[in-house]
Amino acid sequence: MGTAERREAPADTSAGERRPGYRPLWTEEPARRRRMPDPVRTAAVRAVLVVAVTLILAMVAFLCTLAESWLAFPMVLASVAGTVVATWGVLDVWVTRQVWNQRHGVVSVPSSTARAVRRERRRARRQTRAAERGQERIGRRGGAGQLSPPRAAG
């Protein structure tokens, strides 16, 4: 298809009609895994950037050492410091992920411990609410806390 043919072709085609020979550039597929939570993703991006800068510093230090440049020693020091910071960044990702899982529960596994704990909490809350409602009902009857009405002396 030449440029002139493309200019003459109708630009607006509805989604329902398909042109013969038309092949989309990509097809949408559902994601295989769930997206990472925002704090974890932020920490991961930060860690990747720090590791990339550290690798660049290490490469520059190596090349400066081979060239016997005066910049070799400061670069080695910078790459050692970068290694420490990169280790901190990777640990930050791990800790952030653990904290997120503890706070929000692991919902990906059906037999999750967090799910069982939430279920137990809900059950306990329901029981306490039911007990409170029962006590309110007894108090409203006007029996002054007695379960049976007062007997007349006879």
- 65-83 pLDDT per residue, tens: 999 999 999 999 999 999 9
Residues 94-106: what's their mean pLDDT? 86
82, HSE (Cβ side, Cα atoms, 13 Å): 21
27 confidence band (pLDDT: 50, 70, 90)? confident
Cα dist from 16 to 8, 19, 23, 61, 154, whole Å: 21, 10, 14, 59, 90
Its pTM stands at 0.50
